[in-house]
Amino acid sequence: MELVEKLEKWIKEHPTEAELPAMNVTTGKTYTIKAIFEKLKAEKEGGVAALTDDELEVKEQISKWIKEV
């Protein structure tokens, strides 16, 4: 199962948690898992990179985390 599918499943099971803001301590920017998911989904569907460099770092962190869930 790909990251997008795993996140979609997790978001359906945890809609409130998916909307909670989290902070990337390296950059100090906040994001939500749902927002990153939406960009990954758009990227997959459109074939055009939608993530910023900061968000790519967050994507890697989410990829590691989702494997543990």
Please state whether the predicted TM-score (pTM) of the whole model is above 0.85: yes
pLDDT of residue 1 exceeding 80, the answer is: no
Res 40 pLDDT > 80: yes
- List, for residues 10-33, the tens digit of each pLDDT value: 999 999 999 999 998 888 999 999
- DSSP letter string, the chain: --HHHHHHHHHHH-HHHHTS-EE-TTT--EE-HHHHHHHHHHHHHH-S----HHHHHHHHHHHHHHHH-
Regarding predicted confidence, which is higher, 56 or 47?
56
The tokens describing 32, both together, are 């939500």
All residues at 6 or more sequence positions from 39 whose CB lies less than 8 Å from its CB, including other chains = 50, 51, 55
The predicted pLDDT at position 50 comes to 80
